[in-house]
Amino acid sequence: MLYAGGPHRSRWRLPRPNSVVYPTIFAYYVPLANISKTYPGFYAFNGSARMEKIDPGVFIAGDGRNRYGRKRSFIINPQASGSWMFNMDTDNDGVIDSSSEELYNGVGRYSAFLPIHGGTTGNYLFADGSVRRYKIKDWVEQRYELFGVGLPEDLSKYK
């Protein structure tokens, strides 16, 4: 965990939350025999991606936090499930930026993207090793490129 003020002990011990992308990049693995192929989330349980198959412009981790509990830390791909699609503007800037269902289910605003830098920007680690900062609006508008594949049938592209 990173703390404000560097690696030394500080009275300002503010954790810097980081999250991985779910289910496009990181995902649970459940043996196919244990999942019904008619289950809508069938493709979300085929394990995590292989780094060499991820497009360079797809982010794999970033500033984020969800409210599912301490054992999970991921930013959900809004294109991976119908209930995760953005349908509301949570910060009143005129940009649809969050899923109402996931907002109230515990993920929070912006699919758990957490703009910790000035409250308006957050950092992302990309598959090519670069780190870039995004404003909320830019992140929302470029989400199709940033998250890579989205439809459940496409999730096997990176496996």
Residue-wise pLDDT for 40-89, tens only, equals: 555 566 678 888 888 888 888 888 876 666 666 778 887 767 778 889 99
Please give the share of the chain, as a percent, with pLDDT higher than 70.
Answer: 73
Nearest to 37 by CA among 45, 49, 28: 45
Is 125 within 8 Å of 79 (Cβ atoms)? no
Identity of the highest mean pLDDT range in 20-34, 69-83, 107-121: 107-121
Which tokens is 153 given?
A: 């049938």
Cα distances (Å, whole numbers) of residue 120 to 38, 93, 110, 117, 155: 40, 12, 11, 6, 30
Q: Does 4 score more than 60 pLDDT?
A: no
Please give the pLDDT value at position 38: 61
- pLDDT, residue 20, reads 80
